[in-house]
Amino acid sequence: MSTNIRKIGVVGTGVIGASWSALFLARGFDVVATDPAPGAEKALREYVANAWPAMETLGAVVPGGSQARLTFRTDIHGIADVDFVQENGPERLEFKHKLYQQLDTLLPPDVIIATSSSGLTMTDIQQGCEHHPERCLVGHPFNPPHLIPLVELVAGKRTAAEAIDRADVFYSALGKKTIRLKKEVPGHVANRLQGVLVREIMSLVSEGVVSVADADAACSWGPGLRWGVMGPVVLNHLGGGVGGIEHFYDQFAGPLVTWWTPLGDFEFTKEVREKMIAGLKEEVGSRDFRDLASERDRLLLTLLKTRLAELPKH
């Protein structure tokens, strides 16, 4: 399936829109970005320039990929001639309604409008579209989208299956790993999975079982290393040895179910919040944001080089 996409409109160039812009440019697309905030163009161009070396290291910059293909417009009408829109505006439903009303009127009906929204559903967002809600969908990335491959595709009640197919072809050709949700749920899938894990960490810390630093180490030096290469269900299958998942369930389902019992009546209280913050400060000590972020990115690039080599080439 050809998508015939050459020029991409990026609406909203904050944390997520700037990172998407960097990726689209690296992959050889023309990008027309729009954001009404004062200083938005300067911040965007700086973000893209800073993101470029990491994408070069990953081999994500194709011949023809260039920062010079970025155009910035303060007025949203400046994106009227794009072939695909990635929308990254503020996460407020009434704002998205007004924005989708504008975009729906401005753009030809075959132009897909994908929202990066983490928490809103497309069924709610597309209520803003009077003409062509069928081309609107969720294309939810992970921060920063110029590095993390996952994109969750979700249709709203009025989204056409064909729009999801076209978006899937487009994102896959960009080098993204897509998954499709069969129905809408708040937070989509990956954020819900992260949410459950974080809840359990808070519960274990607040019950005095473990420190924040050791809970983090339990993830990043243990199962987290495996999760970076295979999902938990396949790993359970391997945990069953040659007997596979059936043997794993025979042996471990009993104890596993008992671990689901809550340790107490867990709530995210002020005390839990304070305990988590104090534990985190003890864990990171005097290391500042830049120091931690650069360590994360250095290690992430090494891992990504290996993982991206295994994604199918389109």
Q: Rule CB under 6 A: which residues touch ligand NAD?
A: 11-17, 34-37, 40, 76, 88-91, 99, 116-119, 140-141, 143
Between 12 and 248, whose beta carbon lies closer to ligand NAD? 12
CB of 195: closest distance to ligand NAD in angstroms?
A: 14
Between 76 and 106, whose beta carbon lies closer to ligand NAD? 76
Between 40 and 82, whose beta carbon lies closer to ligand NAD? 40
Neighbouring C-alpha atoms within 13 Å toward the C-beta of 221: 6
Between 142 and 248, whose beta carbon lies closer to ligand NAD? 142
Q: Which residues contact 194 (CB under 8 A, 6 or more apart)?
A: none
Neighbouring C-alpha atoms within 13 Å toward the C-beta of 27: 22
d(CA 62, CA 69): 13
CB of 99: closest distance to ligand NAD in angstroms?
A: 6
Residue nearest ligand NAD, Cβ-based: 14
CB of 166: closest distance to ligand NAD in angstroms?
A: 21
CB of 83: closest distance to ligand NAD in angstroms?
A: 18
Q: What are phi and psi of 297, to 5 degrees?
A: -70, -35
* Residue given tokens 């020029």 in the structure block: 7
d(CA 151, CA 153): 6
Q: What is the dihedral of CA 284, 285, 291, 294, to 10 degrees?
A: -20
Between 143 and 306, whose beta carbon lies closer to ligand NAD? 143
Ramachandran area for residue 64 (φ above 0: left; ψ -120 to 50: alpha; else beta): left
CB of 144: closest distance to ligand NAD in angstroms?
A: 8
Let me know how long the chain is.
314
